[in-house]
């Protein structure tokens, strides 16, 4: 805004303290991580500089390829389900007179629960002996569809992905709803008076005006998926092997279980760069579509 | 906020269509909300069961109901100390983070749009916490901020800054019309006044969203609380609930009781806070 | 008004930054004179979480009361998180004065850094513990390069047992040979009985079971004890044991969902349902067994492999499991030494005795175990177990996991077991995977 540019000291006051804190604590730590990613370090003795060896080893490691694939496929599925469900439910609540506050609170509940609690619950949901999924399948005569959801290497990836997607749908519902509420009423009213039905309003007005908020959700989903760790760790230890592991779990194991802090920092850098690239990509896409 | 076209403008068939629409909306929402409510109900029920019941019959009613879990959980988590700590850390972090993030977001969305500072701040969202744990911890140690309230609050603020700035910038960009700001400046307001008089009130939706996320993040945070708050007097509720686990195996009923204790304050706060947000939103929606 | 605001904000920020920078300098540092000496002890007893924990904390408080110059800071961390906490603390030069830990590969890094006290120094000053009280093998598990670096706490006590009620109901005999064992798989299936609770998640409890098969060979015992040096996983006992485990899986002797029923709590809860024929578990799960299942549980020897060499009724997996570490620098501090000795004495003897009497651990200290009244142990399963061990003169055999020299090796071994149990890889692939990890470790040295 040109009109405010003349207040040069605005920079100092508005951004200064944040800049200082962020740079000193976060950026310095990130640069430390970058440095450690070029070393071999067990966090106890002195780091040994090894250059790009960690990166080469990571990318030539077949396990890492599986983990990368899992993370990207998981991301695609998360974006698909969380954004679409988020928009749909947000719009439904938005249009609802009765129970608006109640519904908004209820959809948010799983977000409040710890990931450990939700992971635990889904472990039991998918339990092949006593869990309801298999029980229902047996009940309705679809026994052949039952699986060992947590041990079967074909499906374990999807089993672990389910709570990861499910738990945070409510978060995006609330965010998108907050965005929808800042749409000016007149626009909607005039559209309705012009005879637009719910679907038209949804697709032609609400979504385009929500692109910035949708972008927020996309970035949160992306960074969330790249950092995700708890569900996989609790349900299957990322396994069997790494079949249900994601980048976040993989990094956690390297850092805290293998005590290979250098390698873990390498993974962290990969996470950072990948998430950043995807974010910038989506930013370009959204900018193209918005007015 | 919620839109229905006045009856005068409709004829019979579209009223019927509208009622059907309402019915399906409510039905869909009710079904979905059942699935979101269920995990919480399940955890509450588990607090009255033991491992045998939980693992044997995961989704049945307590049979027989066990009452020893709650007293044990209460004594195990040292509720008074840890609840107070969690609330202090949460509230202070939210206030400081929201203030700093809102100021930065205002600058990034209105004063210096599209600057590379935006990308600089966003990088902080992309890095997993476990990666910067050790460098940050060493930093805190050297500043003698380990085992202090100030230390953990600083940590919580800085790790939440990026996400908050990101969300608030998004909300402010289109949520606050530029003409309003221009009008105010022409009337003689400086940036600070524009910020406190116009931007903050109009950002309530964004601040409520980001603030909720930050609070939840602090409430459920584990790794930094574990390493930086070793002394019992500073511990958080989440940490204490975790410690209800045994060294090798967990009494899931006891853990469930602990989880219930952990989420109750948050749910209460959300219910109360939601009222405030609604008031703020309706106030902000009325344009003078 | 804008100017005041601006000034106010700037002053506020300056104050905030000052507090953050100046205060830490003022806060740290030693206090002089009669101020209490702080001893930081990281342990796993959360006051109020269990009887064991509450009583342990009570004993610790007594130590503090008896030593008015000492201020004991409890840093409670249960389970695996202790490993994370210690690593972060040591990385930042912030190690506690004393902490509860495990033996084996996990200690290696800390020994290399030189922060662990030579325990002989403690024993020289101890008033309650003598070196002879504890067996040589227990001391060996904590010995690196001839120096004892950690104080052993307890032995892991494993059992293989059957649900006697089920066997009686169908008139089945307990299997002695491997063929009988495998044949039971079909019988269980026909009657809708679950075979066993030997699942695998993170290698638990599978890695113990695997070890029990390996140690049926003499070469297996020595091979396990020396794996840290040889790094050779392609030994006959290891290969055979993997093949036999795969046979078990094919015969339906593992739970159908090995992951869901893996790890300690789910596996023992699975057995506790009452429809599982065999139980393989360790003492730390006894507390989760209900009275009725304990009554039905009968400890039996593990079935003998077709080419097994040792008498399976006389051994089971289990060596020293936990150990206490003392910070060498803290001990050398004359102000702290006396308190650390008093604390360690109480922990090693008083708490060890109390826990053994409750039945939550089996102490390595023979002096302690001598004073435990067997029939007064609260945990009935522990009583059964100890009686069986005494009657059969059961000894503990070495654990592969513990002997593996690095955390990564241990992890790869555990993960490969998960895959083997789930049938996701063949025994040959399993051996290859673990050997590959051994080779990588060798190359990195």
- Residue-wise pLDDT for B181-209, tens only, equals 888 878 877 777 888 888 888 888 888 88
DSSP conformation letters of C246-296: HHHHHTT-S-SSTTTT-SHHHHHHHHHTS-EEEEEEEGGGGGGS-HHHHHH
Residues of C with Cβ-Cβ distance to B243 under 8 angstroms? 46, 49, 76-78
Mutate to test the interface with B, among C44, C288, C290, C291 (most CBs of B within 10 A): C288
User: What are the tokens at A218?
Assistant: 């996309």
Which pLDDT score is estimated for A38?
Answer: 94
Tell me the per-residue pLDDT of C339-369, one tens digit each, with 9 for 90 and over.
999 999 999 999 999 999 988 889 999 999 8
Residue range C364-388: average pLDDT?
Answer: 91
Query: With contact defined as beta carbons under 8 Å apart, do A255 and A35 qualify?
Result: no
Residue A18: band (very low, low, confident or very high) from pLDDT cuts 50, 70, 90: very high
Asked if B76 reaches chain A (Cβ–Cβ under 8 Å), the answer is no
Q: Is residue C25 pLDDT above 70, yes or no?
A: no
Query: Partners for B (CB, 8 Å, 3+ pairs)?
Result: A, C
How far is it, in rounded angstroms, from Cα C228 to Cα A218?
A: 48
Q: Is residue A169 pLDDT above 90, yes or no?
A: yes
Peptide bond into B59 cis (omega under 30): no
Query: With contact defined as beta carbons under 8 Å apart, do C141 and C320 qualify?
Result: yes
How far is it, in rounded angstroms, from Cα A95 to Cα A105?
A: 16
Cross-chain Cβ contact C258/A151 below 8 Å = yes
Cross-chain Cβ contact C47/B76 below 8 Å = yes
Rounded to two decimals, the pTM is: 0.86
- Report the percent of chain B where pLDDT is more than 70: 90
How far is it, in rounded angstroms, from Cα C158 to Cα C141?
A: 18
> Where exactly does CATH 3.40.190.10 map onto chain C?
38-156+319-372, 158-317+388-444
Alpha helices in C40-192 (DSSP H): 51-66, 81-91, 105-113, 119-125, 136-141, 164-169, 178-191
Cross-chain Cβ contact C419/A129 below 8 Å = no
A272/chain B closest Cα distance in angstroms: 5
Cross-chain Cβ contact C73/B138 below 8 Å = no
How far is it, in rounded angstroms, from Cα B33 to Cα A109?
A: 9
Residues of C with Cβ-Cβ distance to B138 under 8 angstroms? 91-92
Tell me the per-residue pLDDT of B244-264, one tens digit each, with 9 for 90 and over.
877 667 788 888 899 999 999
Residue range A211-234: average pLDDT?
Answer: 90
Which pLDDT score is estimated for B247?
Answer: 67
DSSP conformation letters of B229-268: --SGGG--HHHHHHTTS-SS---HHHHHHHHHHHHHHHHH
Asked if B178 reaches chain A (Cβ–Cβ under 8 Å), the answer is yes
Residues of A with Cβ-Cβ distance to C256 under 8 angstroms? 128-129, 148
Cross-chain Cβ contact B193/C23 below 8 Å = no
Among B51, B56, B244, the residue with its CB nearest the CB of C46 is: B244
The region, left, alpha or beta by phi > 0 then psi within -120 to 50, assigned to residue B114 is left
Residue A245: closest C-alpha in chain C = C415
Q: What is the CA radius of gyration of chain A?
A: 23
Burial C231-261 (b: 16+ CB within 10 A, else e): bebebebbbbbbbbbbebbebbbbbebbbbb
3-state SS, residue C416: helix
How far is it, in rounded angstroms, from Cα C160 to Cα C297?
A: 10
| Mean pLDDT estimate for chain A | 87
Cross-chain Cβ contact B128/A226 below 8 Å = yes
- Report the percent of chain C where pLDDT is more than 70: 92
A residues 175-194 closer than 8 Å to C (CB): none
Q: Is residue B1 pLDDT above 50, yes or no?
A: no
Lowest mean pLDDT segment, chosen from A217-231, B90-104, B190-204, C2-16: C2-16
Which pLDDT score is estimated for A258?
Answer: 86
Q: Is residue B287 pLDDT above 60, yes or no?
A: no
Tell me the per-residue pLDDT of C302-330, one tens digit each, with 9 for 90 and over.
999 999 999 999 999 988 999 999 999 99
A7/chain B closest Cα distance in angstroms: 7
| Mean pLDDT estimate for chain C | 89
Tell me the per-residue pLDDT of C399-427, one tens digit each, with 9 for 90 and over.
999 899 888 899 999 999 999 999 999 99
Which pLDDT score is estimated for C14?
Answer: 54
- Report the percent of chain A where pLDDT is more than 70: 96
C387/chain A closest Cα distance in angstroms: 34
Query: Partners for A (CB, 8 Å, 3+ pairs)?
Result: B, C
Residue range A27-45: average pLDDT?
Answer: 90
Query: With contact defined as beta carbons under 8 Å apart, do B248 and C285 qualify?
Result: yes
Q: Could you tell me which of A116, A22, A12, A92 has the C-alpha nearest to residue B160?
A: A22
B285/chain C closest Cα distance in angstroms: 26
DSSP conformation letters of chain B: ------GGG--HHHHHHHHHHHHHHHHHHHHHHHHHHHHHHHHHHHTTS-HHHHHHSTTSPPSS---SHHHHHHHHHTHHHHHHHHHHHHHHHHHHHHHHHHHHHHIIIIISTT-HHHHHHHHHHHS-HHHHHHHHHHHHHHTT-TTSHHHHHHHHHHHHHHHHHHHHHHHHHHHS-HHHHHHHHHTT--HHHHIIIIIHHHTHHHHHHHHHHHHHHHHT--HHHHHH--SGGG--HHHHHHTTS-SS---HHHHHHHHHHHHHHHHHHHHHHHHHHHHHHHHHHS--
A253/chain B closest Cα distance in angstroms: 10
C408/chain A closest Cα distance in angstroms: 4
Which pLDDT score is estimated for C268?
Answer: 92
Tell me the per-residue pLDDT of A174-206, one tens digit each, with 9 for 90 and over.
888 888 877 767 777 777 777 777 777 777 777
Which pLDDT score is estimated for C20?
Answer: 45
Among A237, A240, A258, the residue with its CB nearest the CB of C407 is: A258
Residues of B with Cβ-Cβ distance to A105 under 8 angstroms? 270-271, 274
Residue A287: closest C-alpha in chain B = B114
Size of interface A-C (CB pairs under 8 A): 107
Which pLDDT score is estimated for C170?
Answer: 94
Query: With contact defined as beta carbons under 8 Å apart, do A160 and A235 qualify?
Result: yes
Beta-bridge partner residues of A40:
A48
Mutate to test the interface with B, among C28, C194, C265 (most CBs of B within 10 A): C265
Residues of A with Cβ-Cβ distance to B156 under 8 angstroms? none
**In this structure, CATH architecture of domain B78-243:** Orthogonal Bundle (1.10)
Lowest mean pLDDT segment, chosen from B55-59, C146-150, C384-388: B55-59
Residue range A213-240: average pLDDT?
Answer: 90
Surface-to-core class of residue A62, CB atoms within 10 Å of its CB (0-12 exposed, 13-18 middle, 19+ buried): exposed
Among B72, B150, B248, the residue with its CB nearest the CB of C284 is: B248
Asked if B9 reaches chain A (Cβ–Cβ under 8 Å), the answer is yes
Which pLDDT score is estimated for B272?
Answer: 77
- Tell how strand C37-43 and strand C98-102 pair up: parallel
Residues B280, B286, C3, C4: is their CA dihedral positive or negative?
negative
Which pLDDT score is estimated for C8?
Answer: 53
Size of interface B-C (CB pairs under 8 A): 127
Collect all residues from C whose CB is shorter than 8 A from any CB in A: 6, 9-10, 13, 16-17, 83-84, 87-88, 90-91, 109-110, 112-113, 194, 201-202, 255-261, 266, 406-408, 411, 415-416, 418-419, 421-422, 424-425, 444
- As for the ipTM of the complex, it is 0.86
Residue range C278-298: average pLDDT?
Answer: 92
Q: Is residue C65 pLDDT above 90, yes or no?
A: yes
| Mean pLDDT estimate for chain B | 84
B26/chain A closest Cα distance in angstroms: 8
Residues of B with Cβ-Cβ distance to C88 under 8 angstroms? 133-134, 137, 227
Burial B100-137 (b: 16+ CB within 10 A, else e): bbbbbbbbbbbbbeeeebbeebbbbbbbbbbbbbbbbb
CATH number of A53-289: 1.10.3720.10
Among A27, A223, A251, the residue with its CB nearest the CB of B125 is: A223
**B7 or C155, which is more confident?**
C155
Residue range C35-63: average pLDDT?
Answer: 90
Cross-chain Cβ contact B171/A104 below 8 Å = no
Could you count the other beta carbons within 10 Å of the beta carbon of residue A288?
Answer: 8
- DSSP character at residue C158: E
Which CATH code, of 3.60.110.10, 3.40.50.620, 3.40.190.10, 3.30.310.50, is assigned to C158-317+388-444?
3.40.190.10
Which pLDDT score is estimated for C31?
Answer: 41
Residues of C with Cβ-Cβ distance to A241 under 8 angstroms? 415-416, 418-419, 424-425
**B15 or C214, which is more confident?**
C214
Query: With contact defined as beta carbons under 8 Å apart, do B194 and A14 qualify?
Result: no
Query: With contact defined as beta carbons under 8 Å apart, do A183 and A209 qualify?
Result: yes
Which pLDDT score is estimated for C1?
Answer: 40
Query: With contact defined as beta carbons under 8 Å apart, do B164 and B98 qualify?
Result: yes
Alpha helices in C192-235 (DSSP H): 206-214, 218-230
Among B192, B232, B249, the residue with its CB nearest the CB of C285 is: B249
Mean pLDDT highest for which of A137-151, B137-151, C8-22?
B137-151
Residue C7: band (very low, low, confident or very high) from pLDDT cuts 50, 70, 90: low
A206/chain C closest Cα distance in angstroms: 38
Here the contacts of C376-382 (C-beta below 8 Å, separation 24 or greater) are C379/C286, C379/C287, C380/C291, C380/C294, C381/C286, C381/C289, C381/C294, C381/C297, C382/C157, C382/C283, C382/C286
Residue C204: closest C-alpha in chain B = B248
Which pLDDT score is estimated for C416?
Answer: 95
How far is it, in rounded angstroms, from Cα C202 to Cα C181?
A: 26
Instruction: Name the CATH superfamily for C38-156+319-372.
Output: Periplasmic binding protein-like II (3.40.190.10)
Tell me the per-residue pLDDT of B226-243, one tens digit each, with 9 for 90 and over.
999 988 889 999 988 888
Mean pLDDT highest for which of A100-109, C13-22, C329-338?
C329-338
Query: With contact defined as beta carbons under 8 Å apart, do C388 and C215 qualify?
Result: no
Cross-chain Cβ contact C78/B245 below 8 Å = yes
Q: Is residue C136 pLDDT above 80, yes or no?
A: yes
B274/chain C closest Cα distance in angstroms: 30
Which pLDDT score is estimated for C11?
Answer: 57
Residue A145: band (very low, low, confident or very high) from pLDDT cuts 50, 70, 90: confident
Residues of C with Cβ-Cβ distance to B190 under 8 angstroms? 2, 6
Q: Could you tell me which of C68, C72, C20, C13 has the C-alpha nearest to residue C41?
A: C72
Residues of A with Cβ-Cβ distance to B45 under 8 angstroms? none
User: What are the tokens at C11?
Assistant: 């002053």
Residue range C144-171: average pLDDT?
Answer: 94
**Domain range list for chain A:** 53-289
B191/chain C closest Cα distance in angstroms: 8
Cross-chain Cβ contact A236/C424 below 8 Å = no
Query: With contact defined as beta carbons under 8 Å apart, do C111 and C146 qualify?
Result: no
């Amino acid at each position: 805004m040109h009109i405010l540019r003349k207040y040069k000291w605005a920079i100092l006051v508005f951004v200064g303290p944040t800049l200082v804190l962020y740079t000193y604590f976060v950026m310095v730590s990130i640069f430390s991580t970058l440095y450690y990613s070029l070393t071999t370090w067990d966090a106890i003795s002195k780091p040994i500089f090894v250059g790009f060896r960690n990166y080469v080893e990571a990318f030539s490691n077949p396990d890492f390829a599986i983990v990368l694939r899992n993370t990207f496929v998981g991301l695609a599925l998360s974006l698909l389900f969380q954004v679409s469900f988020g928009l749909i439910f947000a719009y439904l609540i938005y249009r609802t007179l009765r129970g608006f506050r109640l519904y908004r609170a209820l959809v948010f509940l799983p977000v409040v629960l710890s990931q450990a609690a939700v992971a635990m619950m889904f472990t039991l949901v998918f339990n092949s002996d006593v869990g309801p999924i298999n029980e229902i399948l047996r009940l309705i005569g679809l026994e052949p569809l039952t699986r060992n959801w947590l041990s079967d290497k074909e499906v374990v990836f999807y089993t672990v992905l389910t709570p990861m997607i499910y738990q945070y749908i409510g978060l995006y519902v609330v965010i998108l709803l907050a965005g929808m509420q800042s749409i000016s009423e007149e626009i909607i009213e005039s559209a309705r008076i012009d005879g637009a039905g719910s679907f038209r309003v949804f697709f032609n007005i609400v979504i385009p005006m929500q692109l910035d908020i949708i972008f927020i959700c996309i970035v949160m989903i992306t960074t969330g998926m790249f950092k995700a760790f708890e569900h996989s760790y609790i349900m299957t230890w990322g396994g069997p092997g790494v079949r249900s592991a994601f980048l976040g779990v993989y990094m956690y194991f390297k850092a805290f279980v293998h005590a290979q802090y250098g390698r873990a920092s390498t993974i962290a850098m990969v996470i950072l760069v990948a998430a950043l690239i995807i974010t910038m990509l989506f930013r370009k896409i959204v900018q193209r579509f918005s007015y | 906020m919620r839109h229905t076209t006045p009856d005068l403008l409709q004829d019979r068939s579209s009223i019927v269509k509208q009622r059907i629409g309402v019915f399906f909306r409510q039905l869909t929402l009710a079904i979905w909300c059942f699935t979101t409510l269920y995990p919480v109900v399940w955890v509450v029920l588990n607090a009255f069961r033991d491992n045998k019941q939980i693992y044997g019959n995961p989704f049945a009613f307590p049979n027989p109901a066990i009452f020893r879990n709650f007293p044990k959980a209460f004594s195990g988590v040292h509720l008074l100390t840890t609840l107070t700590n969690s609330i202090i850390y949460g509230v202070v972090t939210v206030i400081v983070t929201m203030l700093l993030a809102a100021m930065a977001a205002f600058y990034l969305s209105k004063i210096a749009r599209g600057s590379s500072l935006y990308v600089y701040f966003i990088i902080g969202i992309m890095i997993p916490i476990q990666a910067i744990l050790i460098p940050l911890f060493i930093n805190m140690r050297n500043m003698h901020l380990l085992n202090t309230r100030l230390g953990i609050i600083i940590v919580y603020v800085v790790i939440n800054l990026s996400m908050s700035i990101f969300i608030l910038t998004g909300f402010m960009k289109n949520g606050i019309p530029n003409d309003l700001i221009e009008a105010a400046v022409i009337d003689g307001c400086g940036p600070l006044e524009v910020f406190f008089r116009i931007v903050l009130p109009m950002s309530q939706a964004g601040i409520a969203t980001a603030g909720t996320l930050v609070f939840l993040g602090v409430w459920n945070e584990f790794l930094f609380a574990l390493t930086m708050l070793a002394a019992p007097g500073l511990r958080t509720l989440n940490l204490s609930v975790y410690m209800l686990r045994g060294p090798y195996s967990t009494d899931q009923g006891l853990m469930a009781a602990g989880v219930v204790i952990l989420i109750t304050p948050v749910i209460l706060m959300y219910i109360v806070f939601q009222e405030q947000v609604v008031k703020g939103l309706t106030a902000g929606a009325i344009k003078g | 008004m804008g100017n005041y605001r601006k000034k106010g904000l700037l002053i506020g920020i300056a104050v905030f930054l000052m507090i953050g920078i100046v205060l830490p300098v003022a806060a740290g540092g030693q206090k002089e004179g009669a101020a209490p000496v702080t001893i930081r002890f990281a342990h796993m007893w959360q006051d109020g979480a269990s009887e064991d924990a509450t009583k342990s904390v009570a004993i610790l408080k007594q130590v503090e009361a008896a030593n008015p110059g000492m201020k004991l800071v409890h840093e409670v961390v249960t389970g695996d998180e202790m490993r994370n906490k210690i690593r972060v603390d040591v990385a930042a030069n912030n190690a506690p004065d004393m902490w509860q830990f495990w033996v084996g590969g996990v200690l290696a890094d800390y020994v290399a850094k030189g922060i662990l006290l030579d325990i002989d120094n403690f024993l020289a000053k101890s008033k309650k513990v003598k070196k002879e009280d504890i067996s040589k093998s227990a001391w060996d598990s904590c010995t690196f390069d001839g120096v004892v670096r950690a104080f052993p706490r307890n032995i892991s006590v494993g059992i293989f047992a059957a649900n006697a009620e089920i066997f009686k109901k169908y008139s089945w005999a307990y299997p002695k040979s491997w063929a009988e064992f495998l044949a039971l798989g079909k019988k269980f299936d026909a009657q809708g009985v679950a075979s066993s609770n030997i699942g695998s998640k993170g290698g638990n409890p599978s890695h113990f079971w695997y070890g029990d098969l390996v140690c049926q060979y003499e070469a297996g015992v020595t091979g396990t004890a020396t794996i840290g040096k040889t790094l050779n996983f392609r030994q006959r006992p290891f290969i055979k044991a993997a093949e036999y485990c795969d046979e078990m899986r094919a015969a339906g002797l593992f739970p159908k969902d090995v992951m869901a029923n893996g790890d300690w709590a789910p596996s023992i809860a699975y057995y506790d349902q009452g429809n599982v024929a065999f139980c393989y578990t360790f003492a730390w799960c006894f507390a989760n067994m209900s009275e009725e299942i304990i009554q039905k549980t009968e400890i039996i020897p593990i079935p003998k492999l077709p080419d097994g060499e040792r008498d399976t009724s006389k051994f089971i997996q289990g060596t020293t499991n936990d150990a206490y570490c003392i910070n060498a620098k803290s001990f050398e501090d004359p102000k702290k030494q006396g308190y650390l000795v008093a604390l360690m004495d109480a922990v090693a003897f008083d708490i060890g005795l109390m826990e053994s009497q409750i039945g939550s651990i089996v102490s390595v200290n023979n002096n302690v175990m001598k004073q435990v009244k067997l029939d007064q142990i609260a945990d009935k399963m522990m009583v059964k177990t100890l009686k069986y061990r005494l009657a059969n003169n059961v000894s503990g055999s070495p654990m592969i996991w513990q002997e593996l020299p690095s955390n990564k090796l241990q992890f790869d071994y555990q993960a490969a077991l998960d895959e083997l149990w789930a049938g996701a890889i063949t025994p040959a692939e399993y051996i290859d995977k673990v050997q590959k990890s051994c080779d990588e470790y060798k190359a990195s040295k």
